[in-house]
């Protein structure tokens, strides 16, 4: 295994302030101790329901969110510190693309300036060379040259997402954190964007951290996955582990939520979905300590549930 980035016991806690003196009265434990490795040229999937902490994890990795504790190791150094990120050119090597391409692309700028900006920030090129590089990026993501002088609103959602990827790859990064990159797109366009993201990955040996609430979307993208719930990972595994042999009820539930296109198996899928929902209703509760911190997430199995209930009753 060839590691690109190793995340160790990462925590991001947001303070909640209240009262007249605006004192910190509590925290949101958005990310509460996650460990994983993003390998070179591979895709790591981060999947979970809304609010589980996926985006916060992604933003912490690119340096957009302050880390409470833990380490993010890149080239042997901890890049949670800004000075280290600077010394390693980390901000060039790690880029992010977002779900909402309309608000992540400046509506007042033309494509040449939007894609040219990161090139300008990291490379010393003449205007002519910079323009050539922007054209090259447009070509890579399958956009015509006349896109150069257009504004974001002149493109479809799928095309704008391609522009987002063009901007991200312009600095020749090693990792792209893709936060729900296709969630706002129609199904047919989703497939196109995913395909060309895969194509670009092969072409440049890129790694992705692919964030989604939908296990169906990441199925053909990811080599390894983590299922996130309440700031923690409830299950990690290879694609085969997660899709063929899920252990945790949250994973099973996310899998059963993938719509079946296959008409012949639709009824069987519906029955399975009802079974999983019933199991979820029995197992879904999280377990809290006296300070209100989760000490165990929803149980993995009925025997795990029995052990937790035993603990709760004082172990008698």
Ligand X SMILES: Nc1ncnc2c1ncn2[C@@H]1O[C@H](COP(=O)(O)OP(=O)(O)OP(=O)(O)O)[C@@H](O)[C@H]1O
Binding site for ligand X (CB under 6 A): 14, 28, 30, 48, 50-56, 213
Q: How far is the CB of 43 from ligand X (least distance, A)?
A: 18
Between residues 22 and 126, which has the closer beta carbon with respect to ligand X? 22
Q: How far is the CB of 281 from ligand X (least distance, A)?
A: 22
Between residues 15 and 302, which has the closer beta carbon with respect to ligand X? 15
Q: How far is the CB of 55 from ligand X (least distance, A)?
A: 3
Between residues 23 and 132, which has the closer beta carbon with respect to ligand X? 23
Structure tokens at 298: 């929803």
Between residues 143 and 227, which has the closer beta carbon with respect to ligand X? 227
Between residues 27 and 239, which has the closer beta carbon with respect to ligand X? 27
Angle, to 10 degrees, between the axis of helix 127-140 and the axis of helix 111-122? 110
Between residues 77 and 183, which has the closer beta carbon with respect to ligand X? 183
Structure tokens at 166: 């063009």
The pair phi, psi for residue 313, each rounded to 5°, is -80, 10
Q: How far is the CB of 302 from ligand X (least distance, A)?
A: 28
Q: How far apart are CA 167 and CA 21, in angstroms?
A: 43
Q: How far is the CB of 199 from ligand X (least distance, A)?
A: 26
Between residues 115 and 176, which has the closer beta carbon with respect to ligand X? 176
Q: How far is the CB of 65 from ligand X (least distance, A)?
A: 8
Q: How far is CA 146 from CA 112, 115, 128, 135, 248, in A?
A: 10, 14, 16, 9, 49
Phi-psi region of 168 (alpha: psi -120 to 50; beta: other; left: phi over 0): alpha
> 């899928």: which residue's tokens?
269
| C-beta separation of 19 from 25 below 8 A | yes
Q: How far is the CB of 82 from ligand X (least distance, A)?
A: 18
Long-range contacts (CB closer than 8 Å, 24 or more residues apart) made by 253-262? 253/277, 253/280, 254/47, 254/48, 254/49, 254/214, 254/215, 254/227, 255/215, 257/214, 257/215, 258/214, 258/215, 258/216, 258/219, 259/216
Longest Cα separation, the chain: 77
Q: How far apart are CA 313 and CA 68, in angstroms?
A: 34
């Amino acid at each position: 295994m060839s590691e690109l980035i190793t995340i160790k016991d990462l925590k991001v806690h947001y303070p909640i302030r209240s009262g007249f003196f605006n004192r910190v009265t509590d925290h949101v434990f958005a990310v509460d101790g996650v460990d994983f490795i993003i390998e070179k040229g591979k895709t790591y999937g981060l999947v979970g329901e809304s609010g589980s902490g996926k985006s916060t994890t992604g933003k912490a990795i690119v340096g957009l969110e302050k880390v409470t504790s833990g380490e993010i190791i890149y080239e042997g150094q901890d890049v949670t510190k800004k000075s280290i990120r600077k010394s390693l050119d980390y901000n060039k090597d790690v880029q992010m693309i977002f779900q909402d391409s309309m608000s992540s692309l400046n509506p007042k700028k033309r494509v040449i300036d939007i894609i040219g900006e990161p090139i300008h920030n990291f490379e010393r090129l003449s205007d002519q060379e910079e323009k050539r590089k922007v054209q090259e990026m447009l070509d890579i993501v399958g956009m015509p040259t006349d896109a150069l002088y257009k504004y974001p609103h002149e493109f479809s959602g799928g095309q704008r997402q391609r522009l987002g990827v063009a901007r991200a790859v312009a600095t020749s990064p090693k990792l792209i954190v893709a936060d729900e990159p296709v969630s706002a797109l129609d199904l047919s366009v989703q497939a196109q964007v995913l395909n060309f993201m895969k194509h670009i990955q092969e072409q440049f040996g890129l790694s992705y951290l692919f964030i989604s609430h939908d296990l169906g979307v990441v199925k053909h993208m990811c080599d390894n996955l983590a299922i996130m719930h309440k700031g923690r990972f409830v299950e990690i595994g290879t694609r085969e582990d997660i899709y063929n042999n899920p252990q945790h009820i949250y994973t099973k539930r996310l899998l059963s939520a993938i719509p079946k296109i296959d008409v012949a198996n639709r009824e069987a899928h519906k029955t399975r979905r009802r079974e999983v929902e019933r199991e979820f209703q029995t197992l879904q509760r999280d377990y809290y300590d006296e300070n209100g911190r989760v000490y165990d997430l929803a149980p993995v199995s009925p025997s795990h549930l029995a052990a937790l209930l035993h603990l709760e009753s004082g172990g008698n």
